[in-house]
Amino acid sequence: MVAAMMMFPAPHPLPLDEAARLQALRPYQLLNTMQDETFAELVRLTAKLFHVPVCIVALVEEDQVRFGLNHGLPADMDRVNRWETLCSVALLGEGVTVFENLHAEPCALINPGLVQNLHLGFYAGHTLRTADGQPIGVLCVIDYQPRPFRASESALLGQLAAVVMSLLDLRVALVQQPRWNQELWAAIYARIEDSVQRLETLAALAGWEDTADSANARAYQESTHAEMLRIVEVLGQQIQALQPR
């Protein structure tokens, strides 16, 4: 986790090699994820799995953070200044960055205006990294009330971030291939559709449990992790198949 203990001299926190990071980001900036039903469903499902009102796939640009997809925020909030969003802080982490109680312990690395105006109480974000290790964005879940974040939830968010990154890589590969078309994308999604539907069912079942530590809840979590791994594996196979020979 990234600890918010001191102010950065820059207007917003910067990775060590920002120029290389921005170069790696460029292919992903061309994707129109806003109109992709696959991403929209995954973001909505992520919010449901974590029982939070907001989930965002954010791409961190030079001066702004663009919400490629968001569930739960106003539709017109598609980008914000980089120096006032927690995603610019999460971008610095290797894994999950968590602020369990933003009301009592606000982040000192950003301008607090946006967080305060939205009355955010909880934030957890996992870095989205390219195959070369460059951080290009964040998958985050947000609540208006403070809440704890368990180790199992951290692992789940990491798996979901891997799915999102695999989907982004797949879209880049498809755009770069002359044989790209909607039918091909639909065929690829059909291979993971059953897993997505099972995740929906598991999220609904988990929501009926009184506690996340019950035997049934743990079984649902294990099944959820297994489905996530299957989706990552399928997407990895498709990405490999699309690479130039």
Give the pLDDT confidence of 117-131 residue by residue, as tens digits.
889 999 999 999 999
pLDDT at residue 6, as a whole number: 31
Query: What is the phi/psi pair of residue 4, to 5°?
Result: -95, 85
pLDDT at residue 8, as a whole number: 35
The pLDDT of 59-64, averaged and rounded, is: 92
Q: For residue 14, how far is the Cα from the chain centroid?
A: 19
Look at residue 142 and tell me whether its pLDDT is greater than 50: yes
| Average pLDDT taken over every residue of the chain | 82
pLDDT at residue 140, as a whole number: 97
pLDDT at residue 121, as a whole number: 95
- List pLDDT tens digits, range 174-232: 776 655 556 666 777 777 777 778 888 887 887 787 776 788 877 887 888 788 777 77
* Domains of the chain by start residue, with CATH: 18-242 (3.30.450.40)
> Residue 143: CB partners within 8 Å, gap ≥ 6?
52, 53, 54, 120, 121, 122
- List pLDDT tens digits, range 21-54: 999 999 988 776 656 777 788 888 889 889 899 9
CA angle 158, 109, 80 (to 5 degrees): 75
Look at residue 58 and tell me whether its pLDDT is greater than 50: yes
Instruction: Return d(Cα 122, Cα 153) in angstroms, integer.
Output: 14
Among 198, 216, 51, CA closest to 124: 51
Instruction: Please indicate, yes or no, whether the overall pTM of this predicted structure exceeds 0.85.
Output: no
Instruction: Return d(Cα 17, Cα 138) in angstroms, integer.
Output: 17
pLDDT at residue 35, as a whole number: 62
> Which tops the pLDDT comparison, 20 or 7?
20
